[in-house]
Structure 1
């Protein structure tokens, strides 16, 4: 049974471990070793995670007491992050987090949700009726990443 709750500061060690492990094991099929190393290093910036938890709509999915996924929303309708534990892929966790995020966007009176998604995540979002607005290249810590701007209207 998947339980959803707000993230707390005390969850950061488990959140950052999930973030790092998901990128290292799941995203590695679509990105180079250098990309993965740089991207996964985002787990080390604890101040950023604290700010996300304190300032954004940040939810967790748990099974028993294990965090199996998380998602966060910025500025009312920008879906800034969705990660599912590497050992819990394809079990409906991402879909459940997405539905709750989308509900929050609608409750905030927005008609569109937007996100930047990785090559790995694109099929998931495509399957959930998100439209690709454009392919882009983003620079992060001196490395260029290819990803996609997607959106969905309600």
Structure 2
């Protein structure tokens, strides 16, 4: 049984491990080794993660006491991150987190949920009826990443 709850600072080690491992295991099929190295190194920016947990709507999904995924919402309607542990892919965890984030955006008074996603995540969002607003190259730490801005009317 999956339990969804607000993230706490005590979750930080598991959250950053999931972030790093998911990028290395799942996104590596769509991005270069250098891109994966740079992107996954963001797990080491603990101050930024603490800030997200303390100041954003940040949820974790637990399965038998282990964090299996997390998601966080910025500015009330922007899904800034959704990651599912590499060993829990395709088990509805991402879908549950996404539905809750959509509900929260609606509760915040917004009629749309947006996200800037990786190309790896596109099939997931496409299956949840998200539309492409724009495909673009995102410059991050000197590297160009192919990303997609998606949205869904709520």
TM-score normalised by L of structure 2: 0.99
Structure 1: distance between partners of 2:14 and 2:115: 24
Shift of 1:70: 0.1
Find the counterpart in structure 2 of residue 110 from structure 1: 110
Structure 2: distance between partners of 1:78 and 1:148: 14
Find the counterpart in structure 2 of residue 51 from structure 1: 51
Indicate whether 1:4 and 2:24 are aligned.
no
Q: RMSD of the alignment, in Å?
A: 0.5
Structure 2: distance between partners of 1:18 and 1:41: 12
1:1-154 alignment, distance < 5 Å = 1-154=1-154
Shift of 1:50: 0.4
> 3-state DSSP class of the match of 1:138?
strand
Shift of 1:139: 1.0
Structure 2: distance between partners of 1:22 and 1:52: 19
Shift of 1:23: 0.2
TM-score normalised by L of structure 1: 0.99
Shift of 1:40: 0.2
Provide, for residues 41-78 of structure 1, a one-character-per-residue CA deviation record: whole Å limited to 9, x for no partner: 00000000000001100000000110000000000000
Shift of 1:142: 1.0
Q: How many residues align?
A: 154
Question: Segments of 4+ in structure 1 off by > 4 A?
Answer: none
Shift of 1:79: 0.5
Q: List gaps (5 residues or longer) in structure 1.
A: none
